[in-house]
Amino acid sequence: MPAGLALAFLVLPLLALLVRAPWTTLPERLTGPGVGTALRLSLVCAGSATVLCLLLGVPLAWVLARATFPGRRLVRALVTVPLVLPPVVGGVALLLLLGRRGLLGQHLDAWFGITLPFTTPAVVIAEAFVAMPFLVIAVEGALRGADRRYEDAAATLGASRWTVFRRVTLPLVAPGISAGAVLCFARALGEFGATITFAGSYPGVTRTMPVEVYLALESDPQSAVVLSLVLLAVSVLVLVSLRDRWLTGSAS
């Protein structure tokens, strides 16, 4: 019985979203100016954040999975902080570091004339901050699960560590990396708290889908429902792609 309740609790809100959606006016609302801009911005930012997370997160995952150094457990704990930290706090923290008067931001401003907050790059940074742990944890798990003897075999063939990593380790954990990247992308796409705190809400610049939904809810509730539907559709797509990944992963 409690299980049924839990299921209802999880499914009914989504059902409500579907039931109350303005299906008849859906096409024109979807093609309206605000939606397209916000969706495109969201996809670009979440995509960029995912690339950033891949570039930085995979090496970090490798270090966590393979290197032994004092304080490894501490580093691992630090990596997972953004998972449990309220995103809005993350946004505040980013402002304090990278804002115009931030620890680093004041130098960026003074030396290079770079101001990050309330720009599109700020959206990417906020999303990457929140989403990176998902990627790191997924890739670290894949690396720990990979058979290291393949790396031994590569070493007996004369491969340097970098060659082993590039030509053996990475391909072997590719399914884990894809799964991590998809999770990371999904998390970045839905990011709200850190984004609105660190990047604000300028239409076309920093106003991503979740921010648009929040704002539309006050001015045009029907629009908010439509935007939510789009995000729901993207989530389902992500879920399906992960499912395929897992299925092929277990079959190979």
Partner 1 sequence: MSAGLHARLRLDRGSLALDAELEVAPGTVLALLGPNGAGKSSALQALAGLVPLDGGSIELAGRVLDRPADGTFVRTADREVGMVFQDYLLFPHLSALENVAFGLRARGVRAGQARRSARAWLERMGLDGSASLRPGALSGGQAQRVALARALAPGPRLLLLDEPLAALDAGTRMHVRSDLRSHLADYAGCTVLVTHDPLDAMVLADHLVVLEHGRTVQSGRPGDVARAPRTDYVARLVGLNHYRGRSRGGAVELDGGGELTTADPREGPVFLAFPPSAVSLHRTRPDGSARNVWPGRVAGLEQHADTVRVQLEAEPAVLADVTTAAVADLELTVGSSVWAAVKATEVRAYPGDPAP
Task: State the residues that interact with partner 1 by CB under 8 A.
Answer: 147, 149-150, 152-161, 163, 167-168, 171-172, 174, 252
| Nearer to partner 1 (CB atom), residue 219 or residue 252 | 252
In angstroms, give the least distance from the CB of 162 to partner 1: 10
**Closest to partner 1 by CB, 71 or 158:** 158
Calculate the dihedral angle through the C-alpha atoms of 104, 105, 108, 109, rounding to the nearest 10 degrees.
Answer: -150
Q: In the bound complex, what is the minimum distance in angstroms from residue 139's beta carbon to partner 1?
A: 17
In the complex, least distance from residue 170 CB atom to partner 1, rounded to whole angstroms: 10
Which residue's CB is nearer to partner 1, number 22 or number 249? 249
- Least gap, CB of 165 to partner 1 (angstroms): 12
Closest to partner 1 by CB, 111 vs 162, is 162
Supply the minimum distance, in Å, between the C-beta of residue 147 and partner 1: 8
> Which residue, 107 or 161, is less far from partner 1 as judged by CB?
161
Q: Write down the H helix ranges in the chain.
A: 2-19, 26-30, 33-66, 72-84, 87-98, 105-107, 120-145, 149-156, 161-164, 170-172, 174-189, 193-198, 209-219, 221-251
Quick count: other Cβ atoms within 10 Å of Cβ 20? 12
Q: How many CA atoms lie within 13 A of 234 on its CB side?
A: 20
| Cα–Cα separations (whole angstroms), residue 45 to 128, 161, 213 | 9, 33, 17
